């Protein structure tokens, strides 16, 4: 019994490490978006479009594994994941342009509320008291951080509202990816297909928006490549892997690590100040993640 438990614990630890590393990669995305030379929807399109070739190449070169027949058709969930991620990116990139990096990222990661609610209402996965305590602590930390960035700009309220809309789409994306992985979808192929769908959906929206579609310099293209390869290909790929081995509700709460890292990156790279309430809120978020881990 003990020898069998050790590999399981090691696998869970690896998944947890992948989750936090993926969250760190994604935490860089609002920095890339803020300094992008294209419009917010256009940067969302390039984020996925530039990642598509790399993901398909990695999927083709990945070591062969015994084929696992999906338990149910994957098409509907793949479309749902691609559409949900398109909505997530479109609204989030706009939110980043209107409010602070910390605020937009925090509100986007309120997806944990919607994930937990959906898991409870539709699948009967009633959360434990320890998990709810961790979630409450994490959200209290989020509230502290949000209060410090309300005065970031006159458009902050709209940016915050779009951040909440982002959270709804992000929750749908997390649940769809979790369902795909549970049904046997391979991580790299899953990411390649859903990313392709997202790019196809965002392109007409970006063109219709009238935004700046192409960067004006080589540095602008490098920023978009970083957004695509670091924040999307690496970040989302690691998270897709982790969701196959961790409960969806806990995973979404753990992704509250993203806004903590995003706030730190914004402070160092963009000069957005970190106040004492922001630091305190970040510590409370981390405490909530720990409690949620104990309770899931």
> Model confidence over 51-101: pLDDT tens digits?
999 889 888 876 655 555 665 678 889 999 999 999 999 999 999 999 888
Cα 265 from chain centre = 16
pLDDT for the residue numbered 103: 80
pLDDT at 3 over 50: no
- Cβ contacts of 131 within 8 Å, gap of 6 or more: 249, 250, 253, 291, 292, 295, 296
For residue 137, which of 252, 295, 290, 296 has the smallest C-alpha distance? 290
Q: Quote the DSSP letter at residue 128.
A: P
What is the rounded CA–CA span in Å between residue 102 and residue 267? 10
175 with 93: CB under 8 angstroms? no
What is the rounded CA–CA span in Å between residue 201 and residue 222? 23
Helix ranges (DSSP H) in 99-234: 101-108, 111-123, 129-148, 156-182, 187-209, 218-226
* Position with higher pLDDT, 66 vs 273: 273
* CA distances in angstroms from 264 to 2, 27, 87, 98, 154, listed in the order given: 40, 9, 26, 19, 23
What number is the average pLDDT over the span 37-44?
Answer: 96
- Residue-range domain boundaries for the chain: 28-62+69-295
- SS3 state of residue 188: helix
252 with 123: CB under 8 angstroms? no
For residue 181, which of 84, 86, 83, 77 has the smallest C-alpha distance? 77
* Position with higher pLDDT, 238 vs 228: 228
pLDDT for the residue numbered 107: 82
Confirm whether pTM is higher than 0.85.
no
* Position with higher pLDDT, 152 vs 51: 51
What is the rounded CA–CA span in Å between residue 251 and residue 87? 20
Residue indicated by tokens 């015994």 = 66
* Position with higher pLDDT, 152 vs 142: 142
pLDDT for the residue numbered 147: 74
pLDDT for the residue numbered 1: 41
> Model confidence over 181-218: pLDDT tens digits?
788 778 778 889 999 999 999 999 999 999 999 999 99
Tokens of 38: 């294209």
- Neighbouring CB atoms inside 10 A of 121's CB total 9
What is the rounded CA–CA span in Å between residue 32 and residue 42? 13
Average pLDDT, the chain: 83
> Model confidence over 158-186: pLDDT tens digits?
888 898 899 899 899 988 988 887 887 78
What is the rounded CA–CA span in Å between residue 259 and residue 27? 7
pLDDT at 288 over 70: yes
């Amino acid at each position: 019994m003990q020898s069998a438990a050790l590999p399981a614990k090691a696998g869970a630890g690896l998944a947890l490490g992948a989750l936090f590393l993926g969250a760190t990669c994604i935490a860089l995305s609002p920095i890339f978006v803020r300094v992008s030379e294209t419009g917010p929807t256009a940067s969302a399109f390039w984020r996925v479009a530039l990642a598509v070739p790399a993901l398909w190449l990695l999927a083709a070169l990945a070591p062969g594994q015994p084929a696992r027949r999906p338990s149910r058709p994957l098409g509907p969930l793949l479309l749902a994941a691609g559409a949900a991620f398109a909505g997530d990116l479109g609204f989030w990139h706009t939110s980043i342009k209107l409010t602070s990096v910390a605020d937009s990222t925090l509100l986007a990661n309120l997806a944990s509320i919607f994930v937990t609610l959906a898991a409870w209402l539709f699948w009967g996965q009633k959360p434990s008291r320890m998990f709810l305590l961790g979630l409450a602590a994490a959200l209290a930390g989020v509230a502290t951080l949000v209060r410090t960035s309300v005065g970031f700009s006159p458009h902050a309220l709209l940016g915050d509202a779009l951040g909440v809309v982002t959270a709804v789409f992000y929750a749908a994306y997390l649940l769809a990816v979790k369902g795909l992985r549970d049904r046997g979808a391979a991580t790299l192929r899953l990411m390649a297909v859903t990313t392709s769908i997202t790019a196809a959906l965002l392109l007409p929206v970006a063109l219709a928006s009238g935004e700046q579609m192409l960067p004006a310099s080589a540095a602008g293209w490098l920023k978009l490549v970083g957004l695509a390869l670091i924040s999307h290909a690496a970040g989302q790929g690691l998270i897709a892997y982790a969701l196959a081995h961790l409960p969806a509700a806990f995973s979404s709460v753990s992704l509250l690590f993203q806004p903590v890292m995003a706030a730190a990156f914004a402070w160092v790279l963009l000069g957005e100040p970190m106040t004492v309430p922001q630091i305190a809120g970040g510590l409370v978020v981390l405490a909530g993640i720990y409690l949620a881990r104990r309770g899931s």
